[in-house]
Chain A
Amino acid sequence: MKPRTSSPIVRELLETGRITSFPVIDAHGHMGTWPAIWFPNSDAQQMIHTMDRCGVSTLVFSHHNALQDPQTGNETAQQEIDRFPDRLIGYYAVNARYPENIREITRNFSRLRGFAGYKILAAYNKTPITLPEYAPLWAHAHEEKRPVLLHTWGGDTCAGWRQVKEIAERYPDARILMGHSQYGDWDEAISLAKEFPNVFCELTAAGDVNGVVQKMVDDGIEEKMLFGTDLPWFDPMHLIGVIACSRISDAARKRILHDNAAELFSRWLSC
């Protein structure tokens, strides 16, 4: 049966198979293979096909290879951004265990094309985001108001809410995107997003948990929530469906699926 809804957004989604009144922006993606999983659609062309199917105009991503090997992996990301400059925006992936790479890229970020900011997979690298090795990155993101996407998870001591709080206080102009919204530590994530204008909750995986989207909106952070999929991991239509069927307003749906990211990435979307 059809969902019981009065939402024009949900109705157009049901009738056309995607939201047609505005493009969805995906603030958290990757690309390429990953050791622990088989992906049917992991190259740029396949991912863009998925984005087309789901009404996603733009994906902000870090290449999986760059999370392992920043030097060559980010170069691969650059090649794909150059191939699809109107669909892909990059996060330059860094790891404190390659400090020279961080020093070099923060000095020469302008040589990159289509990269908005950085990505840190701190828990996997076992490198807290507060390490001095990351300081040039935070200073650069702060100076140029750039986004930094973090992999954040409840209980994590590398990019948990305590570390994010410390960084948010120290670098108030760096845009800190809590990937997965401190999964499980929902109250702490919401508090940070409320307290700090520069902290955002990104919903990959987190949004799939029953009630999380509604709780965040009810708690007043709809302007700080971002749609994300980890593509090529998750079919974007899954989280779009969660947001469509959550007990929130259409205005909130549009904020999460488009407006917040459009504001955050406006410099890269319009250049």
Chain B
Amino acid sequence: MANPKTSDVSPAAGAFARPASDLRLFDAWTLVGATRQPPLQPALTAETLLAEMDRCGVDEAMVSSASVDGASPVDTNPALSIFRAASERLHPIYHILPTCTGEIVLDTFFDDMRTNGVRALAADPEAHRYLLNGLTFGDLFEAMIEKRVPLYLKSDWSVVTAVLKEFPELIVIVRDLGSWGADRFCRPILDAFPNVHVEISTYKLDGGVPALLERYGPERILYGSGYHTCAMGGPAMRLRNLDIDRDAKEQIAHGNLERLLREARP
């Protein structure tokens, strides 16, 4: 085998921020459960998810049901209790439905969230066929604002923008920004709505996070992996080795999410 002509890499590692090998990581977005088109290595059990977290050095994780593509949240929400029961490291995310059909009744819904340790919600308007607006969700969103419960939204930017225009005080976590960069979409939203956060599992853009940090500070950037669709090891190592200061890394890795969950009072 030929030797590469560049056997060393310069400059020395000391020119960059120290890697954070012992960083506490709280994954803001993982998926579990059976789906119609399962990924290569689906996480069907808490044991599978926890083993992956151990291997990648992830301390805790928000857990969302991957089954919502083909099953109703009426069934997938309670199914997440197995994960919470399995480990205190796992924190379920419920999916919302409109209250108009009676599938969700506001009071009991928040009671249920409290009982089951749920402090964040997610919406999938495409899979569950509803309009994500005040007409459909005004009662729920007003309650979420009052209770400071965050809502996860996929990076469908026109939907995100419309929701925020109607409910600027809603705490929103935009997930899965995508690997095609998202700055032209997300920056105007981050500029206009201080309650918006971005989850960076698929935001792999080289230099992207440091640039967001410079413009917005670390408070609204959340580490996530997108596991079981995406490999868990990538986002974790990317964050550990970013050339940014340790405090910012800690906030992105776990501090911001912990603050959001602490402040949520379902």
**Residue B138 lies at the interface, judged by CB distance under 8 Å to chain A:** no
State whether A245 touches B232 (Cβ < 8 A). yes
Q: A4-B55, A38-B184 are in contact. Are A244 and B207 (CB under 8 A)?
A: no
The binding surface of chain B is classed by DSSP as: loop
Q: A186-B40, A241-B237, A245-B56 are in contact. Are A208 and B204 (CB under 8 A)?
A: yes
From A39, A55, A269, give the contact of B9 (CB < 8 A).
Answer: A55
Chain A residues with Cβ below 8 Å from B3 are 262, 269-270
CB distance from A203 to the nearest CB of B (A): 11
Assembly CA distance A247 to B56 (angstroms):
11
From A4, A13, A209, A214, give the contact of B54 (CB < 8 A).
Answer: A4
**Residue A165 lies at the interface, judged by CB distance under 8 Å to chain B:** no
From B39, B57, B184, B210, give the contact of A2 (CB < 8 A).
Answer: B57
Chain B residues with Cβ below 8 Å from A16 are 13, 19
State whether B9 touches A17 (Cβ < 8 A). no
Chain A residues with Cβ below 8 Å from B237 are 13, 237-238, 240-242, 244-245
**Residue A234 lies at the interface, judged by CB distance under 8 Å to chain B:** yes
**Residue B181 lies at the interface, judged by CB distance under 8 Å to chain A:** yes
Q: A23-B6, A244-B233 are in contact. Are A1 and B57 (CB under 8 A)?
A: yes
State whether B5 touches A269 (Cβ < 8 A). yes
Number of A-B contacts (CB under 8 A): 204
A residues engaging B (CB < 8 A)?
1-5, 13-18, 20, 23, 25, 36-41, 46-47, 50-58, 86-87, 186, 205, 207-215, 229, 231-247, 258-259, 262-263, 266-267, 269-271
State whether B233 touches A38 (Cβ < 8 A). no
Assembly CA distance A214 to B39 (angstroms):
13
State whether A56 touches B41 (Cβ < 8 A). no
State whether A86 touches B6 (Cβ < 8 A). yes
Assembly CA distance A3 to B241 (angstroms):
14
